[in-house]
Amino acid sequence: MKFKRLSLVTATAVLLCLTACGEQGASGQRAPSSQAIAQGLTNVEFVRLIEQLSKPGGYFDTDNLISNETSYLHVIGEMEELDVEGGVYVGVGPSQNFSYIAQVRPEIAFIIDIRRDNLLQHLLFKALFGLSSTRIEYLCLLTATPFPEDPQEWSDRPISALVAYIDSTPSTEVTISNTRRALVERVGEFGVALDAEMMAAIEGFHREFVEAGLSLRFQSFNRAPRPDYPTLRQLLLETDRSGEQRNFLAKEEDFQFVKSLEDRNLVVPVVGDLAGSHALSEIGKYVADRDQTISALYTSNVEFYLVRQGSFLSFAQTVSELPIDERSVIIRSYFNRGFSRRLPQYVPGYNSTQLLQSIEVFVTGYAQGHYRTYWNLISGGS
């Protein structure tokens, strides 16, 4: 069953003074330290931060349920070698961010997307984390599959066993109804202002996960279908370049870390244009005010579209002003198979190539005018 996607966000609330979030205000209060932020945000602070950072959204012609990047884990080993850890994580898109977050172990994470749907879907994910105590429960709730008899016994089982359980255990009308009701109630507890259309969209996202199960596949609208787009099952079972399964659901400890951030309101979905003048810039200010740095900026292949629409230099200028250090990196995806073969990171058989670049190197290249084309950017300025 399909449902109407929201192409435009309803008017975003007037930006609120973040006194509750600890911003410096008329009282002269200093912004809280990163240690204070690590304790978590209240629901009121969480909602106000979303409102402060967000702008009215727009439309992009792809399904937003899962990633289409089969190579998304291929940078994990290199990130470990570079000691990309802690700080603040910023990314775009749906749940592939959780695998990067599990690797980086940031203090707080921000997920930016021009689509309001992405914020709504991350509220669904947040509810799933809140209602789950284990990985198997998360997957069961996502697909409305009945829980196994003792979910705790699944803590040490491989991701392949979890996938096999979901594939072999059918949903029931009772499970679907009860799961949907629990998720809607949990989303309502966050305090985000959601109208009936937005709540219907969140329920619609969950309905698609339930109906397709782990065979759910990324879709583009108004473009020819791509048989090489992965299913959710494939994404869960993918490996890094050394052959290790590194999805956030592959190990209980990784799931628990992401859950701990979600439970403390420290995964903050933001509506905004990555090249716009507001969202990414405001995140940078928020991070700098807390004496933190951005450790990883995941852009997927958004830069391709920014170059095409002429807004890439605006994005690059904003990135050059972000608080970073020598370990800060950009994670990006490249989809042109013909040219991918010219890249050392290319892995045969994959529909995408994952690339890692130091943000310091990116900023220097931007300042020197190296990124005249998208290929210049992907190939490191050559």
Whole-angstrom Cα distance, residue 113 to residue 67?
Answer: 13
Condensed to tens digits (0 to 9), the pLDDT of residues 1-15 reads: 333 333 333 333 323
pTM of the model: 0.89
115, burial (CB in 10 Å: exposed 0-12, middle 13-18, buried 19+): buried
Give pLDDT, residue 5: 33
How confident is the model over 170-180, as a mean pLDDT? 97
Condensed to tens digits (0 to 9), the pLDDT of residues 327-338 reads: 999 999 999 867
How confident is the model over 306-317, as a mean pLDDT? 95
Look at 61 and 37; give whichever has higher pLDDT.
Answer: 37
Letter string b/e over residues 2-31, b meaning 16 or more CB atoms within 10 A of that residue's CB:
eeebbeebeebeeeeebeebbbeeeeeeeb
Condensed to tens digits (0 to 9), the pLDDT of residues 131-172 reads: 999 999 999 999 999 999 999 999 999 999 999 999 999 999
Q: Are 19 and 25 in contact (CB under 8 A)?
A: yes
Based on C-alpha coordinates, what's the Rg of the chain? 20
Query: Residue 297: beta bridge partners?
Result: 90, 330
